[in-house]
């Protein structure tokens, strides 16, 4: 019986080598410590300007009978046309809510009173 010698190409098994490399990668990833970069303490300048005040808004309601109500802080208070400017001191925004069936001249009178107080933000809504 003779021995046959295989002279074909022999390839080494790389599976254990790949396993060891993955284990080393995992080991280095777990054992790595991350550098915490130091922070630089800074002092922000303080502002001399006052913070913006809360936007005060008032709603003036005009019903179909020509009565006026001023809604401030959720309370409707009946007022006269001449008394409306007294309720607009320090107000930045006014919304006029008017009944759709009333005379438009009444709304114009209210708008004139608001404009006399130099209030730039004025809105107009109609309800039924």
Chain-wide mean pLDDT for the chain?
82
The predicted pLDDT at position 105 comes to 87
Cα dist. 10→2, 6, 7, 66, 108 in Å?
21, 9, 8, 106, 102
Average pLDDT over residues 55-71: 85
What sign does the CA torsion over 73, 67, 115, 117 have? negative
* pLDDT value at 1 more than 80: no
Q: For residue 52, what pLDDT is reported? A: 58
Structurally, at CATH architecture level, domain 57-127 sits in: 2-Layer Sandwich (3.30)
Closest CA to 94 of 72, 64, 75: 72
């Amino acid at each position: 019986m003779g021995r046959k010698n295989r002279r074909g190409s022999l390839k080494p098994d790389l599976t254990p080598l790949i396993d060891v490399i993955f284990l080393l990668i995992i080991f280095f990833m777990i054992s790595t410590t991350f550098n915490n970069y130091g922070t630089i303490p800074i002092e922000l300048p303080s502002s001399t300007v006052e913070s913006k005040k809360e936007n005060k808004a008032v709603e003036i309601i005009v019903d179909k009978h020509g009565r006026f109500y001023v809604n401030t802080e959720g309370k409707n208070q009946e007022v006269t046309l001449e008394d409306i400017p007294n309720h607009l001191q320090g107000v930045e925004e006014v919304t006029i809510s008017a009944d759709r069936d009333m005379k438009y001249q009444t709304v114009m009178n209210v708008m004139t009173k608001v404009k006399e107080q130099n209030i730039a933000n004025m809105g107009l809504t109609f309800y039924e």
